């Protein structure tokens, strides 16, 4: 009866295989109840972004195996193991990640709307981000200026939060305040050298400025930091293909992306495009055949 009422909450029922889970993210306050199995939870307060940043920088299992063991006590999260029949409360704004220990069944409930001032600022920033990628939205300039306002305020409220620093630097770059943006982005990397997307963001800034050598160094640094980060291969491959004019090198990077995410069609399409530009006719035909076999599509 309770769940059928209009309670302005979102309810999710989940079945998870062993070693799966959710990478670090934030949200409104809510709870997670475990029906079956065991889960290991990791939590950071809003003031401290998890080392390594947010998804897709690291999956939960990659973070646990590659980042967690390198953290000192001050950087480690609060954590617990949730048993079947137990409920965990998640305060609004807390970063949280969960790793399934064996197969699990769980039910989660969270508020649909932010209930704190901090949460409302984040929600406004996310709304502006959606507006900036919406082709139907006409007021892009206002949204860009709005992002600067939102993340300046959040940076004042959370001065040590590296996600806020990074998003503030990106907002500054979008309004051509490049010097400030670069300085703030560099500070993120110095504060958290595991933050994969900080390297990628700074690489994109250098690309836009025409400093392609510096950009490539940063793309490679991101991949070294996490060789399993599919987004790093996507961005580096696009850089090589569309900005550096290195089609053969781009094809090699996209091939690695396919290895990391063999389910992601966009990698195959980019690989095919780079092979065509590099005049690797035989390889391009093989990729086109593979796309048709795996995704049922014919490339014309």
The residue with tokens 């959040």 is: 154
Q: Which among 283, 282, 195, 187 is positioned nearest to 231, based on CA atoms?
A: 195
* pLDDT cut 70: percent of the chain above it: 96
Give me the torsion for CA of 185, 188, 193, 199, rounded to 10°: -20
Span 261-282, average pLDDT:
97
Residue 24 lies in a domain: yes
Same domain, 137 and 207: yes
| pLDDT tens digit sequence for 208-228 | 999 999 999 999 999 999 999
Q: Write the burial class of residue 139 (CB in 10 Å: 0-12 exposed, 13-18 middle, 19+ buried).
A: exposed
- What DSSP designation does 69 have? G
pLDDT tens, 145-161? Answer: 999 999 999 999 999 99
Tens-place pLDDT, residues 50-68: 999 988 999 999 999 999 9
| Number of domains comprising the chain | 3
Give yes or no: residues 27 and 79 share one domain. Answer: yes
Which of these three, 228, 256, 277, is where a domain ends? 228
Model confidence over 156-200: pLDDT tens digits?
999 999 999 999 999 999 999 999 999 999 999 999 999 999 999
Assign 10 a pLDDT band (cuts: 50, 70, 90). Answer: confident
pTM (2 d.p.): 0.93
pLDDT value of position 200: 99
pLDDT at 9: 77
> What value does the mean pLDDT take over residues 118-133?
96
Same domain, yes or no: 220 and 288: no
Q: Domain containing 41 — which CATH number? A: 2.60.120.650
* Per-residue model confidence as pLDDT tens digits over 73-87: 999 999 999 999 999
Alpha carbon distance 279, 300 (integer Å): 16
Given this model, what pLDDT does residue 2 score?
40
**Enclosing domain of residue 286:** 246-300
For the chain, how long is the longest CA-to-CA vector? 64
Residue 39 in domain = yes
In a domain, 198, yes or no: yes
Measure the CA–CA gap between 46 and 78, rounded to whole angstroms. 13
Give the pLDDT score at 4: 46
């Amino acid at each position: 009866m309770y769940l059928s009422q209009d309670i302005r909450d979102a309810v999710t029922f989940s079945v998870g295989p062993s070693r799966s889970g959710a990478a670090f993210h934030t949200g409104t306050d809510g709870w997670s109840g475990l029906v079956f199995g065991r889960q290991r939870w990791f939590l950071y307060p809003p003031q401290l972004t998890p080392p390594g940043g947010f998804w897709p920088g690291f999956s939960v299992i990659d973070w646990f195996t590659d980042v967690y063991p390198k953290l000192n006590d001050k950087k480690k999260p609060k954590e617990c193991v949730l048993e079947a029949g137990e409920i965990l409360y998640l305060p609004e704004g807390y970063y949280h990640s969960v790793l399934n220990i064996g197969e699990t069944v769980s039910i989660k409930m969270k508020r649909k709307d932010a209930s704190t001032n901090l949460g409302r600022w984040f929600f406004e920033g996310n709304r502006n981000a959606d507006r900036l990628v919406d082709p139907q939205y006409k007021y892009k300039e206002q949204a860009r200026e709005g992002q600067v306002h939102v993340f300046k305020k959040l940076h004042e409220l959370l001065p040590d939060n590296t996600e806020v620093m990074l998003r503030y630097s990106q907002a500054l770059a979008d309004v051509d305040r490049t010097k400030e943006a670069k300085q703030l982005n560099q500070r993120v990397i110095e504060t958290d050298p595991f933050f994969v997307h900080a390297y990628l963001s700074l690489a994109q800034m250098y690309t836009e400025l025409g400093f392609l050598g510096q950009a490539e160094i940063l793309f490679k640094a991101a991949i070294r930091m996490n060789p399993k980060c599919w987004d790093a291969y996507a961005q580096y491959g696009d850089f090589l293909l569309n900005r550096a004019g290195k089609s053969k090198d781009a094809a090699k990077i996209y091939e690695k992306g396919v290895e990391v995410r063999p389910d992601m069609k966009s990698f195959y399409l980019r690989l095919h495009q780079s092979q065509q530009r590099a005049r690797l006719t035989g390889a391009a035909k093989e990729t086109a055949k593979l796309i048709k076999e795996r995704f049922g599509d014919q490339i014309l």
